[in-house]
Structure 1
Amino acid sequence: MTSASPDRLVVLTGADGRLGSRLAFRVAAAGGRQRLLVSGRGTAPRLPDGAPLPEAEVVAVPPEADRRALTSAFDGAYAVFLVPGSERTGRVGKHRAAIDAAVLAGVRHVVYVSSVGAAPDAVSSAARDDWLTEEYLRGTDLRWTMLRIAMFHRTLTFAVHDESYGSVRDTVLRAPAGAGRVATVSHDDVADVATAVLLDEDPKRHAGRTYHLTGPEALSLDEVAAVLSTAVGRSVRYVPQTVEQARSLFYRSTAGEVEDWISQCQAIEAGGLAAVSPDVRQLAGRQARSLETWLDDYPTEWAHLRLPSVR
């Protein structure tokens, strides 16, 4: 197990989120000192008996926090784990404010969760924003490490819907992804890699490195549907969508969330998320979890698929 230096404080943004909370448990298990920044959308991670994590300070930082508030939240930290904002509007500006705050607070190392395919002309809107954030971070004197992710296993489960046609019930995975393939990854695998990077005794080992975190295989969405069918015990079939159909299906989501989802699916169709990387295995010391393994190991993560109606 990775062990932490007691002299190094790490700050985890998004600690009340799915990825940040998993990382917090791992840092705690390694004996690390950490400050957990929570936005109020969730709750700070706690031990099974309800007790707070050891050596963990919890600080509430609202999404609209400015550079001054973030500088205070980062004060005394050796490293910051920076997760991207979920809202597209103003996302890059918030990322830059966090990076500026890290500089002002004297942080040494920033680990940023980015996107596979991040580039100025990326198909995915999130990947374009991540490229701008990466470039801004590269322009500072901070040590940096980029963790680029294709898509999480769990994301695809929320594109599955139960549909009824008279007495006929159909379960479908709808996405505007054509016949593309995607190498999805689990939150736990990313958290394991982040732990290894943040707590490494030689932080320079990861300075200036970009890691691509994927599962062990790239599946078409037809293959994803087949794997889901086995897990949920009923037939799930993939139905490609047009962009207009996707916008109609996710009308309850914000415009930015819909655009992120659609453009990510378009990146799948274009082949941009199909590459399989060995980085999880090399950094976590074990094979990345496949979608099939993840479904078997974490049934509560896709419990919504067992409901009579997914939506």
Structure 2
Amino acid sequence: MDRNVSSPLNSTSLPTPLPLNTTADINATVKPFSVFDGCDHQVEGILFDLTLQCINVIVGIPTNLLVIAILIRNRKEPTTSDIFLGCLAFMDAYFGSMTPVIFLNLYHWQSKDVWSAIKFSYGVKDTSGPLFFSCICLDRFVAVLFPVMFGQLKHIKYRISLSVLVFCLTFAYSAAKTVGGLPNFEKVFTGEILATFTWMVVCNVCILWALKKSRGAGKDEMHPMKKKAFKMVLSILCIIVVNYLPPVALFPFEDHYSEDVFRCYVQPVGFAFLNISSTIQPIIYLSRLEKVPFLSDACLEKCCPCFSTQKKTPPAQNPPA
């Protein structure tokens, strides 16, 4: 469901205006603006979402910037999905940078204008992540199942055009989310997340089935390019299951919850798993690299042992005398 409509964290909706002929005391009927939108005493779900977003600030922003730096460094030998990965990393870094603004506005500024900017950033996250992941899945799907067509469509202009389309859809959705008041607008995100989730799962299952089938009888080793695609597909599946399955599983059952429970608990928790993808995505990308540029192996092992992918060979022993 769209956070612009029902999520308390991102709501900037104004109280319903009184009829023109009313004589009631305005101060007694119009509630003051609240950034928690009725969840002032039920903030656990909101704080859970913000806690995960703090991880985006501490870990997500540096790793996304590192991903962008690596893609720029490897621009002379890019893969076909690099442009999608770069755009996704940029959007995730931007979204993570908005977390301090959210905290300041919740507990200090409490400004409607600032909430408009925050709502725009949530619209960017809601749309850019699923769409760019779908583009990556499409790229891998065509490469594995339709290699001849993939060779004809390998030019970067096709991926730039697709990226521009995603940016246009993202900014259109985010602008509409910021303005608010559109009827049934919350169904846009529900339809988007269900469609992209289904597409990504179907794509990746087809790719894994095709890669497994391509080994043939008696073959234990996979072609290096197919093996690389296989690893990418597995990493994308991990992201899909961890980040996209919770909102897909929870949001369609809105009618089974009370309005307060759904708005104050279910929805913030569901979006929390979606938001943390800004950290999980770059970490999984970096973990697939044989060598992470700009950082020493000692630094990587100290920060995160999973980044150390180089196999250590034991020193050669001298033969006995």
Structure ID, larger Rg: 2
Shorter-chain TM-score range: under 0.3
Asked which structure has the greater RCO (Cα within 8 Å, sep 6+), the reply is: 2
- Relative to the length of structure 2, the TM-score reads 0.26
